[in-house]
């Protein structure tokens, strides 16, 4: 088989990576933490999946290799088998589901839920992992390797050849068998599970003797229990007779209640009809409210008349609604402005007259003295005269405005304007307020008059209906109506009270009959009165003393039954306590027989452990004399190709490895660390030749050559290139030695 390509969607820390591979030797080069081990494990994941089991203190494979972002492990590889068919192997895994598909890319045929490793290689995951998935050789040690690299190497080789798993130690398995055998029975016979069971059997023999003495007491209690049980049966039968009478009484009572309900509902309908007719009459329900409403309307009208008469509206001057109220501030300001302006203009006019006189005098003087400036002073005097005339004109305008304002407010000077404004404002506001009040009171009076008319008509109608003669004083008529309404209200209240009582009785009876079928009640009544229990119940309903007597008898029966049940419970408790004190002889005999069977079973198992130890030891001998020569010959070819110094490999009866040279054989104790690892790798490849019969697998080396020098690495890779016709090799490394050897030998070099 050859893997053509890897397509990792999500696995450990690797996401969306594609890697193309070739047949023969492929060197995948990458620094530490670049994902080499994850890619190597991804190949095993596609073939065999990830284990969910975890060792103490370590994560399971699923926990380690599920991608932290997607919480999935998924991807596919493309392979080509030895017969030339190309397949696509897909696997996806999340926390709850796993999906596997094997797709024949030529035909499109698909297989699901079959491990590709089992399908193509025909071996379980453990054998694939321990033969074709090679980690650092120095890191792989069996459980029994407590001392020495050479001793550990020999133990791992023995287990590889015996079971294809260097992590299973045959010597340790034999030791476990011995330990298990000692757990059953020590050699001296004074310890182990069989010895303890024999002691327990002797104790049961003593217990059997003590238990026999209690049998008589248990038998006596059992007889009493049977007697009280018979008495309970008789009492229960008697109680059933009484219960049948009371059951019949319940059925008769139900019929009686049904009759009472029918009668009560009839009375309710009659009384409701009378009450409805009363309420629909003029003197019916609400009469007092109608009288009070009419009385309130009449009182309201009288109050409205009193209120209108209490106000003197004759002095109120009617005002137009749109007549504006005087603005006191504006009026005062206008008067003061006209008075002040006129005074200023008058003073300015006098000032310019004075200036005119001065300029005229100056002109005369200049004319007399012939100064030549008389024209200027004359012009100034003319201008002063013109301005003076203008000021007098403006003064006249302001004075007329002031006189008009004083005339409008009917005052003689501006000092009186504020009082005049205040007086007019008060008068106008008073007229408006009184006019508004008159309008509002008049409207209320008119409305009250309308209600009064309606109320008077209502009082007349009610008086006629009650046959009360109307008085000229309407209040007297209302008083008589109130008295009549009170009597009628008492009468209605009595009817309502009686109706409520009947309704309450109906509700109680209806509730008592709610879960019962009325037709069934009538049918059961007919059936019950024809029975003996029914006749007894019928007489009990008629005679209270019979009911009391049968009730007392029923109570006595129930008390006797309760006492018998209590006695039975005490006897059962006594028997239970006797049982707790010790087991019955038959039970103890059964336990003794069970112990005898268990002792016999463990004795046979003890003999089986001895036989298993002998079989394992014999199997080891068979490995030594049949498989070892074939593995040694195959491993010799591999190590000869990897090193020029050593040409043969041999294994002795203790699975110690020896490597031969042209002169002699070097024992594994004297091999270097790197040569020892090389021998171990050669044995794994030789074992793979023997194990895989269906399809040659891909061999994965994950940092497996850490202790081997560059020259021997070249020889190993040269040897692997020769075997590339049979196997595909994937070498994951971060070292320059493997990288340089790949370039020297023209191997496929992939950089991560």
Position 25 pLDDT exceeds 50: yes
pLDDT at 90 over 90: yes
Task: Identify which of 21-35, 344-358, 611-625 has the greatest average pLDDT.
Answer: 21-35
Per-residue pLDDT band for 339 (boundaries 50, 70, 90) equals confident
pLDDT score for 144: 40
pLDDT in tens, 359-390: 888 888 888 877 777 788 888 888 888 888 88
Q: DSSP state, 703?
A: S
How far is the C-alpha of 484 from the C-alpha of 481, rounded, in Å?
5
Whether 322 has a pLDDT exceeding 50, the answer reads: no
Give 732's DSSP letter: E
User: For residue range 441-455, what is the model confidence (pLDDT) as tens digits?
Assistant: 888 888 888 888 888
58-72, 179-193, 566-580: the lowest-pLDDT one: 179-193
Please report which helix (H) or strand (E) contains residue 242, including its range: helix 215-280
Better pLDDT: 430 or 509? 509
User: Tokens representing 211?
Assistant: 């238990």
Residues 6 or more apart in contact with residue 8 via CB below 8 angstroms: 14, 15, 16, 17, 18, 19, 39, 42, 75
Report pLDDT for 747: 93
The number of beta carbons lying within 10 Å of the beta carbon of residue 64 is 14
**Which residues, 6 or more positions from 199, have their beta carbon under 8 angstroms from its beta carbon?**
none
Q: What is the pLDDT of residues 229-271, one digit of tens each?
A: 999 889 888 888 888 888 888 888 888 888 888 899 999 999 8
Read off the pLDDT of each residue in 631-659 and give the average, rounded to a whole number. 73
Mean pLDDT for 136-142 is 46
Q: Among 22-36, 58-72, 479-493, 539-553, which stretch is predicted with the lowest mean pLDDT?
A: 539-553
For residue 722, what pLDDT is reported? 80
Confidence of residue 12 (pLDDT cuts 50, 70, 90): very high
pLDDT at residue number 417: 75
End-to-end Cα, the chain, rounded Å: 24
pLDDT band at 337 (very low <50, low <70, confident <90, very high): confident
DSSP 530-595: TSHHHHHHHHHHH-HHHHHHHHHHHHHHHHHHHHHHHHHHHHHHHHHHHHHH---HHHHHHHHHHH
């Amino acid at each position: 088989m050859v893997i053509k390509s890897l397509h990792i969607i999500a696995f450990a820390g690797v996401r969306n990576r594609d890697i193309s591979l070739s047949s023969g030797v492929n060197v995948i080069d990458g620094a530490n933490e670049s994902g080499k081990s994850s890619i190597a494990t991804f190949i095993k994941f596609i073939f065999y999946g990830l284990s969910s089991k975890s060792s103490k203190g370590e994560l399971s494979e699923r926990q380690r290799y599920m991608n932290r972002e997607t919480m999935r492990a998924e991807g596919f590889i493309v392979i080509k088998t030895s017969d030339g068919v190309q397949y696509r192997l897909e696997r996806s895994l999340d926390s709850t589901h796993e999906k596997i598909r094997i797709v024949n890319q030529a035909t499109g045929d698909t297989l699901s839920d079959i491990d590709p490793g089992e399908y193509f290689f025909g071996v379980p995951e453990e054998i694939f992992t321990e033969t074709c998935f090679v980690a650092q050789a120095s890191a792989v040690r069996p459980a029994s390797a407590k001392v020495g690299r050479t001793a550990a190497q020999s133990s791992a080789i023995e287990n590889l050849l015996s079971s294809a798993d260097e992590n299973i130690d045959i010597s340790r398995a034999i030791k476990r068998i011995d330990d298990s055998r000692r757990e059953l029975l020590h050699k001296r016979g004074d310890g182990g599970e069989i010895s303890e069971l024999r002691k327990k059997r002797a104790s049961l023999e003593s217990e059997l003797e003590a238990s026999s003495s209690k049998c008589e007491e248990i038998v006596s209690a059992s007889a009493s229990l049977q007697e009280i049980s018979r008495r309970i049966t008789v009492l229960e039968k008697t109680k059933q007779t009484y219960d049948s009478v009371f059951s019949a009484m319940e059925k008769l009572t139900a019929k009686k209640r049904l009759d009472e309900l029918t009668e009560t509902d009839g009375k309710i309908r009659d009384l409701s009809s009378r009450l409805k007719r009363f309420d629909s009459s003029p003197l019916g329900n609400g009469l007092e409210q109608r009288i009070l409403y009419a009385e309130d309307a009449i009182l309201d009208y009288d109050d409205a008349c009193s209120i209108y008469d209490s106000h003197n509206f004759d002095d109120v001057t009617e005002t137009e609604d749109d007549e504006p109220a005087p603005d006191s501030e504006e009026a005062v300001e206008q008067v003061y402005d006209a008075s002040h302006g006129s005074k200023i203009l008058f003073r300015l006019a006098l000032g310019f007259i004075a200036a005119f006189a001065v300029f005229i005098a100056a002109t005369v003087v200049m004319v007399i003295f012939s100064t030549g400036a008389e024209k200027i002073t004359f012009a100034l005097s003319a201008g002063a005269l013109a301005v003076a005339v203008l000021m007098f004109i403006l003064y006249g305008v302001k004075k007329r405005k002031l006189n008009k304002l004083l005339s409008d407010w009917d005052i003689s000077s501006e000092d009186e304007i504020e009082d005049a404004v205040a007086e007019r404002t008060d008068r106008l506001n008073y007229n408006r307020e009184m006019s508004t009040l008159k309008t509002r009171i008049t409207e209320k009076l008119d409305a009250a008059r309308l209600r009064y008319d309606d109320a008077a008509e209502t009082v007349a109608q009610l008086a006629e209906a009650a046959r009360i003669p109307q008085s000229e004083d309407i209040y007297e008529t209302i008083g008589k109506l109130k008295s009549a309404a009170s009597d009628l209200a008492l009468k209605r209240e009595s009817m309502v009270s009686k109706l409520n009582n009947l309704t309450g009785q109906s509700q109680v009876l209806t509730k008592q009959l709610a879960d019962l079928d009325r037709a069934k009640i009538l049918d059961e009544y007919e059936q019950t009165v024809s029975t003996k229990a029914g006749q007894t119940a019928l007489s009990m309903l008629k005679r209270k003393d019979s009911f009391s007597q049968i009730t007392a008898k029923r109570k006595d029966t129930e008390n006797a039954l309760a006492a018998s049940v209590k006695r039975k419970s005490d006897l059962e408790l006594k028997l239970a306590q006797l049982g707790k004190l010790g087991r019955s002889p038959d039970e103890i005999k059964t336990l003794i027989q069970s112990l005898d069977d268990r002792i016999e079973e463990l004795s046979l198992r003890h003999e089986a452990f001895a036989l298993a130890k002998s079989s394992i030891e014999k199997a080891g001998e068979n490995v030594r004399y049949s498989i070892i020569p074939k593995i040694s010959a195959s491993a010799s070819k591999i190590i000869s190709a990897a090193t020029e110094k050593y040409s043969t490999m041999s294994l002795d009866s203790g699975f110690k490895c020896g490597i031969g040279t042209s002169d002699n054989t070097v024992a594994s104790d004297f091999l270097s660390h790197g040569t020892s690892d090389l021998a171990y790798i050669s044995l794994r490849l030789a074992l793979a030749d023997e194990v895989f019969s269906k399809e040659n697998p891909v061999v994965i080396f994950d940092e497996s050559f850490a202790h081997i020098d560059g020259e021997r690495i070249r020889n190993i890779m040269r040897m692997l290139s020769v075997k590339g016709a049979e196997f595909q090799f994937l070498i994951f490394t971060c070292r320059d030695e493997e990288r340089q050897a790949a370039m020297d030998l023209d191997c496929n070099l992939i950089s991560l």
